[in-house]
Each structure stands twice: as C-alpha cells, then as structure tokens.
C-alpha cells in the first residue's frame, strides 16, 4: 500500500528544512524502501520501546521493521528502553548515550526511535547531543506520538522540577506513522493520544473538531480509515503552525493549549502511571476552557461542548476525576513558575475565544488564577 505523505516544511533564517511524514497501514514492511535515501548504508542505532520484546501475534511489526531496514544497511544496533514518563530522566539519558557511543558511531550514524513519545523524546534528545548532533528518524508507535510528539523536533527529558525542562529542538529526517502498530495499543493509551487530536481542532479548526465529535467512537474503535484521517489532519495542522516558528517564539505556543495545567498535574503524579500525559492534557484543556470562560473570553456552551467530547471519550475532565493526586493551590501555582512560557515571573496561558480560536494570553492575573485553581481542586 502506498503511503500518504505530509511534508513538514520549516522556514529557517537561511534555508528551508523539510521532511516527510509517511502515513498509512502496513508501512513498516517497506520501511527500508521508504527510508532508503536517508539510510544509504549508514550505521543505524535503533532505540526502541522494550514492550516490543514481548512475543505475541500483534507484535511482529518491530521485527518486520528491522528486517526491512537491514536491506539498506550493513550495521544495526539495538537499545531497548521502557515506555512511560519515568524513563525521560537524566540517568536514562546517560545510559543511552554511553551505550550508543560504545557501538562506535560517527557523524553519519542515524538513530531511529521506535516507540511512543517517551522513546521519541529521549532518543531524539540523545541524537541532538551525540557528536554535537547526529540525524534521527521517528517511528512513532502510539497515537499520541503519531499525531504529535514525533513531528516538530521538540526532544527532551523531564527535570526534577518539571516536565520537559531539559531538551533541544532537533528535527527528524523522516517519520513513519503506521496505523497497524496501534492495534496492540491499550485503550487507555489510545484515548490519551486522542486528547492531543482534540487539541488541534480546538486551537484552529472547528470543522475538524466537529468531525471528531461525529467520529470519536470509530476512531477509538480503531477504524483504520478514520485513524488515518485523524493522523493526517493532526500532522497537517501541527506542521502549519510550526513552519514559521520552529523554536516557539510566537504562535507555536498555541500547541500548548492545556499544557501549562497538564505539565503541572503530571508532576504531582510523579510519572508513576496514576495519570499519563494525554489524560493530564484532557484535564488541562478543560481547565484552559474553564479559565477562558471565567475571564470572559469564551461562552459557557463552548466549555460544555469541550468537556462533553472528553467525557464521551472516557477521558478525565477535572482534577476531581483523579482523587489520588493530592494537589494544593499554592503547590500548583509554584509549578507554573517552571512553565517554559513564563517570562520574568509573568505567566502565559493559551486560552480560547471560542472552539477553533486559541490565543496567547500573557501576564495572567495571579489572583484570578489562584481563585480558579482553588475552585477546581
């Protein structure tokens, strides 16, 4: 089957960088062919989610990927790591880097990340600092990573004080999003990825949001055509937003809708699985709409409609849905200080005028925010 291709183009000061996202079903079988021009007999280090070490009927695609890549190169080394946000740590990064170096790499070596957002983020970050930067390829295996984290070049790990505080912008050479690999993804993870999909409609495409309202059941039931459209549309919207703002000096920040709340919530969970990234994003987006409503930017019916799609998708919509997290207003306010959009102590949030129309709100009133958080807890 021929893949659909979305080209991500990024305008840099002096030139334009561009790379393909291949989207389709059963593409991993032809990975070698799709990636031929990048691999071209170079050494490949595959950093993969060790979930794929398990042998079962749904788990043959990783092996297919390796066999297909083998046709294009004389040298492949493998490093298995665990999924889950705990892996995005300095100690894991050090382990990965030392292992990669022990394989004897040069500046032509390519790292390939095969896994969800966690593997992609840490492997991409390793690629960005090894020998001052080597190339990498993304093979995302979760819905979240196919629609979001594998595209756009944000790589990194979590710091003790907050999420994704250590990292680099490093764009991949190519991305392959194969819907077949999602067959083994647990429902909880599929739904978590769906949060980031809803985000795109809410930021700037009401038509897509309406399509999601109409099609969420099929998407969450793995309907392949709907999944493909979901991935294509999400990646196109993301690529449109980042093309003139690779390093988030302006409108790229819109992609953080809900994330200032979400990242703070995740740190309360200690990355131990009580709450996973996409679930925190669902709550974060509902809070961003709640806060937009409180400040008089959006109407109540939009807020209700947003909560409704998350609830119908069986995602959490409020901090009260995760009672195991013990959160206080003051601790939450403290965490906001480490948000990467904060400048000179002034907080910035992404808010909405309506569904499909997000904007950047700088210098948010701290007292109103405090009251809002207290009401939410």
Ligand X SMILES: NC(=O)c1ccc[n+]([C@@H]2O[C@H](COP(=O)([O-])OP(=O)(O)OC[C@H]3O[C@@H](n4cnc5c(N)ncnc54)[C@H](O)[C@@H]3O)[C@@H](O)[C@H]2O)c1
Catalytic residue among 259, 266, 335, 376: 259
Q: How far is the CB of 360 from ligand X (least distance, A)?
A: 18
Catalytic residue among 154, 163, 204, 226: 154
Least gap, CB of 146 to ligand X (angstroms): 9
Catalytic residue among 277, 352, 361, 376: 277
Distance CA 116, CA 149 (A): 8
Catalytic annotation present for 343? no
Q: Is 107 a catalytic residue?
A: no
Decide if 98 is catalytic.
no
The whole-angstrom separation of Cα 344 and Cα 157 is: 23
49 touches ligand X (CB under 6 A): yes
Catalytic (active site) residue 154: yes
DSSP 306-340: HHHHHHHTT---SGGG-TTS---HHHHHHHHTT-T
Q: Which of 43, 163, 263, 335 is catalytic?
A: 263
Distance CA 89, CA 158 (A): 6
- When asked if residue 118 is in the footprint of ligand X (CB under 6 A), the reply is yes
Stretch in the footprint of ligand X (CB under 6 A) among 64-72, 80-88, 127-135, 316-324? 80-88
Q: Are strands 16-24 and 175-178 parallel, antiparallel or unpaired?
A: parallel
16-24 and 4-11 beta bridge pairing: antiparallel
The reply to whether 185 sits near ligand X by the rule CB under 6 A is: yes
The single residue of 189, 196, 266, 376 carrying the catalytic annotation is: 196
* Residue of 45, 81, 181, 227 interacting with ligand X (CB under 6 A): 181
Residue reference for tokens 């709907």: 226
Which of 266, 251, 274 lies closest to 324, judged by CA? 274
Residue 45 pairs in a beta bridge with 77, 111
Residue closer to ligand X (CB basis): 129 or 295: 129
Question: Widest CA span of the chain, in angstroms?
Answer: 61
Q: According to CB under 6 A, which residues from 81 to 110 bind ligand X? A: 83-85, 88
Nearest to 25 by CA among 222, 201, 216: 222
Rounded to an integer, what is the distance from CA 332 to the centroid of its chain? 23
252 assigned to active site: yes
Distance CA 17, CA 290 (A): 38
Residue number with CB closer to ligand X (72 or 148): 148
Tokens of 81: 């790591």
Known catalytic residue at 312: no
Applying the rule CB under 6 A, the residues between 120 and 179 that interact with ligand X are 121, 141-142, 144-145, 148-149, 152, 154, 163-164
Q: Which residues bind ligand X (CB under 6 A)?
A: 49, 51, 83-85, 88, 115-119, 121, 141-142, 144-145, 148-149, 152, 154, 163-164, 181, 184-185, 189, 192, 277-278
Which residues are catalytically annotated?
Answer: 132, 154, 196, 238, 248, 252, 256, 259, 263, 277
């Amino acid at each position: 089957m021929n893949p659909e291709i979305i080209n991500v183009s990024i305008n840099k000061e002096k030139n334009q960088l561009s790379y393909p996202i291949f989207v389709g079903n059963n593409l991993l079988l032809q990975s070698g062919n799709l990636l031929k021009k990048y691999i071209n007999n170079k050494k490949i280090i595959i950093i993969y989610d060790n979930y794929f070490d398990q042998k079962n009927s749904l788990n043959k695609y990783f092996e297919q990927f390796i066999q297909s890549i083998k046709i294009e190169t004389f040298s492949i080394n493998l490093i298995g790591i665990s999924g889950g946000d705990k892996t995005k740590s300095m100690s894991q990064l050090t382990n990965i880097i030392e292992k990669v170096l022990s394989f004897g790499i040069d500046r032509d070596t390519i790292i390939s990340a095969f896994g969800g957002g966690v593997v992609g983020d840490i492997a991409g970050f390793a690629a960005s600092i090894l020998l001052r930067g080597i190339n990498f390829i993304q093979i995302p295996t979760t819905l979240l990573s196919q629609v979001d984290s594998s595209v756009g070049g944000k790589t990194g790990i979590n710091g003790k004080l907050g999420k994704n505080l250590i990292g680099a912008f490093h764009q991949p050479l190519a991305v392959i999003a194969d819907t077949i690999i999602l067959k083994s993804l647990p429902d909880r993870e599929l739904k978590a990825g769906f949060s980031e999909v809803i985000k795109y409609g809410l930021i700037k495409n009401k038509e897509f949001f309406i399509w999601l309202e109409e099609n969420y059941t099929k998407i969450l039931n793995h309907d392949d055509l709907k999944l493909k459209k979901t991935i294509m549309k999400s990646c196109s919207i993301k690529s449109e937003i980042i093309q003139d703002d690779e390093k988030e000096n302006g409108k790229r920040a819109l992609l953080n809708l809900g994330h200032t709340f979400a990242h703070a919530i995740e740190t309360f969970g200690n990355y131990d699985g009580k709450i996973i990234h996409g679930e925190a994003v669902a709550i974060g987006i509902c809070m961003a709409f709640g806060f937009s409503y409180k400040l008089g930017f959006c109407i109540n019916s939009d807020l209700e409609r947003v909560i409704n799609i998350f609830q119908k998708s069986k995602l959490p919509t409020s901090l009260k849905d995760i009672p195991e997290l013990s959160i206080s207003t003051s601790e939450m306010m403290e965490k906001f200080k480490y948000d990467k959009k904060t400048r000179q102590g002034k907080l910035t949030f992404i808010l909405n005028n309506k569904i499909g129309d997000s904007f950047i709100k700088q210098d948010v009133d701290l007292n109103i925010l405090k009251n809002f958080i207290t009401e939410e807890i």
